[in-house]
Amino acid sequence: MKFFIENQKVEKEVEWVLGQLRLHMNGATTAQMENSGINYRINYGVGLPHLQQLSKRIPVSYELAERLWFLEIRETMILASMIVPADKMTVEKCLQWATKISNKDLVERSAMYLWSRLENSSLLCVTWLAGESTYLKATSFYTIGRILQAKQSGSVPTARDLVASVNNSNELYVLKALSFALRMKLRVSASEREEIKKLTNEFKESGSTNKKIVAQELLTEIEFTEAK
């Protein structure tokens, strides 16, 4: 765990947040997530709607967000994603934060609430796609999907490059993340439609059950976008 210089103001804010989380603990949700292979150092099982409401009551500061993230508690990490000032997240800080992404839940939540709203998100995604961490590859796919979904400016890799970055991984959560990015491309990038169709056929004809699942998702999206 990362060590911090003592700051009484921030410590009081952290304790207040933890107190609010304990009021809404849900053991059944925690157990369900653990049974699905989603493990955190601590998980209170607090629902996302409550976290979104709580985030509006938390003082916005990088110092507090950093403390919450490095507590490695599910809820504090998601809250940190929601409240951290985007302009304070340098590439160096982003890379430090990303080392704590170790499950598919945080992959999706951090992509939604944090990485997709940063100016340096494209650079981060390219860096993570070139690395070895499957969690960060999945994070990149979801982040790219969120960027496309919001129709934000900025360059993202081509569909073919996204598929190539998987490096033959057959892990379903990675392929599902890739599927999300490609489906969002289908909605906003007509120029890549034919290429994505080719990639879909390659997945469909592969011997991988997981790739065939992704192919079906993409076929459904293709039918949906072409019917509009």
- State pLDDT tens for residues 3-57: 777 789 999 999 999 999 999 999 999 999 999 999 999 999 999 999 999 999 9
Which residue bears the tokens 């508690």? 73
CA dihedral 65, 67, 68, 70 (to 10 degrees): 120
Each residue of 118-162: pLDDT tens digit?
999 999 999 999 999 999 999 999 999 999 998 765 688 999 999
User: In sequence order, which residues have a C-beta less than 8 Å from that of residue 178 and are 6 or more positions away?
Assistant: 138, 141, 162, 163, 166, 214
Q: Token pair of 71, please? A: 């507590």
Tell me what the mean pLDDT of segment 79-94 comes to. Answer: 98
Determine what percent of the chain falls in helix, strand and coil, rounding each to the nearest 5.
Answer: 70, 0, 30
Query: Which one-letter DSSP state was computed for residue 42?
Result: B
pLDDT of residue 164: 95
In this prediction the pTM is 0.93
Over the chain, what is the mean pLDDT? Answer: 94
Confidence at 1, pLDDT banded by 50, 70, 90:
low
- The CB-side HSE value for 86 (13 A sphere, CA atoms) comes to 10
